């Protein structure tokens, strides 16, 4: 018996990195999964791996910057499984690390649209289904938003916007039994590690800030925290959890 047996979870950006790590952890605990993202082939490949764990999984291709993607994903989840218990908003376009005055409208729209607006769209569209029995929304923030980061203006705006929306909605939707929390993961996702490939001088700086002397793992560390936040045992809402090995200690 898993702690998420019988529960249905949507994971945006579930085809890689933190999203897939969370999906794996949910599958281990008996959740039924809906993976969504832009590339169907990537989603289908990960879905096969999750099915090998014994999970029931469907995939839905879509761009989270479009409200229609949220509507379609929620409708497909209910059609396939009859309910939604957990929503994980993980999808986020990779930012271009350039000085703020050089960030273009296209970059702002891509990063803020996928992160902040995608999160809002999915929260709004999933609300009615979550409110039927109560549930959990898990959103993704970032160190770059909390502390600021060189060349991360659009990304910081998206991630701090997500934290603000999460707190506000936690107040609004607590009466519906919906818990909403934010994870700021310092995890070894593909996008996170690509930053250090492009900026190798930054790696020693980051590593020196880690109290536990390592980055988080997408599955073992972030995924297991997400399982707790999703579980009926959780009595936390409106909070930010820094799963980063002690890099940020607010």
Catalytic residues: 155
CB contact at 8 A, 146 and 103: no
CA distances from 209 to 67, 188, 204, 212, 247 (A): 38, 15, 9, 9, 5
Kindly state the helix (H) or strand (E) to which residue 143 belongs, with its residue range: helix 143-146
For 162, the token pair is 């997500």
DSSP, collapsed to helix, strand or coil, labels residue 153 as helix
Question: What is each CA distance from 85 to 135, 155, 235, 245, in whole angstroms?
Answer: 5, 28, 15, 28
Distance CA 217, CA 69 (A): 29
Whole-angstrom distance, CA of residue 47 vs CA of residue 41 = 10
Task: Give the burial class of 142: count Cβ atoms within 10 A of its Cβ; 0-12 exposed, 13-18 middle, 19 or more buried.
Answer: buried
- Residue 14's SS3 state is coil
For the chain, the farthest-separated pair of C-alpha atoms sits apart, in whole angstroms, at 53
Closest CA to 24 of 46, 2, 1: 46
């Amino acid at each position: 018996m898993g702690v998420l047996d019988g529960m249905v979870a949507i994971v945006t950006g579930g085809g890689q990195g933190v999203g897939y790590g969370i999906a794996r952890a949910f599958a281990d605990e008996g959740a039924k999964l809906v993976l969504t993202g832009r590339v169907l082939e990537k989603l289908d490949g990960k879905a096969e791996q999750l099915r090998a764990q014994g999970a029931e999984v469907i995939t839905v291709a879509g761009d989270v910057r479009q409200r229609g993607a949220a509507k379609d994903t929620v409708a497909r989840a209910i059609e396939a499984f009859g309910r939604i218990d957990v929503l994980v908003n993980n999808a986020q376009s990779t930012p271009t690390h350039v000085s703020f005055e050089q960030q273009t409208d296209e970059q702002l729209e891509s990063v803020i649209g996928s992160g902040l607006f995608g999160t809002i769209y999915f929260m709004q569209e999933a609300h009615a289904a979550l409110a039927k029995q109560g549930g959990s929304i898990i959103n993704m923030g970032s160190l770059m938003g909390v502390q600021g980061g060189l060349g991360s203006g659009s990304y910081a705006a998206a991630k701090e916007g997500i934290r603000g929306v999460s707190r506000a909605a936690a107040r609004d939707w607590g009466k519906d039994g919906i818990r909403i929390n934010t994870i700021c993961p310092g995890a070894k996702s593909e996008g996170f590690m690509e930053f250090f490939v492009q900026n190798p001088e930054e790696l020693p700086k980051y590593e020196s800030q880690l109290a536990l002397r390592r980055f988080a793992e997408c599955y073992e560390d972030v995924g297991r925290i997400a399982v707790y936040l999703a579980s009926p045992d959780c009595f936390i809402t409106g909070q930010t959890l820094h799963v980063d090995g002690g890099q940020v200690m607010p």
